[in-house]
Amino acid sequence: MSSLASRILFTVALLPAVIGIAYLGGWWLFALALVAGLVALHELYAMARQLRPLVLAGYVGFALALLGAQLGDVPWLVAGVLSTLFLAFVLYGLSDIRTSATATFGVTLLGVLWIGGGLGLLLLIRDIDEHGFWALIAVIFTVFAADTAAFFVGRAIGRRKMAPAISPAKTWEGLVAGVAAAMLTAFLILYRDRDEFLTIPETLLLGAVVAVASVFGDLFESAMKRDLGFKDSGRLLGGHGGMLDRLDALLWAGPAAYYVILAVS
């Protein structure tokens, strides 16, 4: 079984649980995001251990960022992220670490901003009045559709490499197919709310932006792993890699979707 086929089967097997928790929303979804995010953050800090991240500051800042999103809005999410820098500086001053302060603060804050910000904005999408559940489902399925279409079309007819130094398998032909699949998926999921939430052109825009953002999210993680000397972020999911490998596209697609919805609503 190919890695992509295995990845699709794994995703499909998890979808009922994810959809159920997304439907419940509230603290159920917060708990899922908290656990998944802490695992992903742990994987990032483990890969970057030579940079000496201050993991306690990162974990606390991440939890505060998610809590800010759950109880408040973007300003409190940002406050949680910024608390990481303060906590990291305090812990750095109290410890005997004598490696680069810039590298230590940078990787600690990066993890919270990247993972906490991405998941936090997904929580805020779910909190949209009346339409939050379907908006979140649209983002999740749009990312899945774009990834699947890009892989198969890229493997079949892809010739022009997008970022050969980072991810040689990604092609411009695959990106075009992924954007088309994402637009169709977003249209089908959100069509029922076209007169109350997003118009059809706005829905198509959402699908296109989410598809492009998901590709760059994948490339961003690939660049990080390549720089740190890792193929996968972890072995938690066996042949599927780590939690961060499964979340990478969503961590960029979520913020992109949130701000598209904010801009057009």
Classify 127 as helix, strand or coil.
coil
Alpha-carbon gap, residue 92 to 103, rounded angstroms: 12
Alpha-carbon gap, residue 158 to 171, rounded angstroms: 6
Classify 194 as helix, strand or coil.
coil
pLDDT of residue 145: 94
**Which residue, chain included where needed, has tokens 């904005």?**
121
Buried/exposed 52-68: b ≥16 CB within 10 Å, e otherwise: bbbbebbbbbbbbbbbb
pLDDT of residue 7: 62
Cα dihedral value 108, 7, 236, 92, nearest 10: 0
Classify 53 as helix, strand or coil.
coil
- Full-prediction pTM beyond 0.95? no
Residues of the chain with pLDDT under 50: 1
Sequence-ordered list of residues with C-beta below 8 angstroms from that of 115, at least 6 positions apart, any chain: 37, 40, 41, 44, 62, 244, 247, 251
Strand partners, 161: 171
pLDDT of residue 140: 95
pLDDT of residue 1: 45
pLDDT of residue 104: 93
pLDDT of residue 238: 59
Planar angle of CA 138, 29, 74, nearest 5 degrees:
80
pLDDT of residue 3: 55
Domain residues of the chain, as ranges?
3-264
175, 215 contact by CB (below 8 A) = yes
| Total H helices, total E strands in the chain | 10, 2
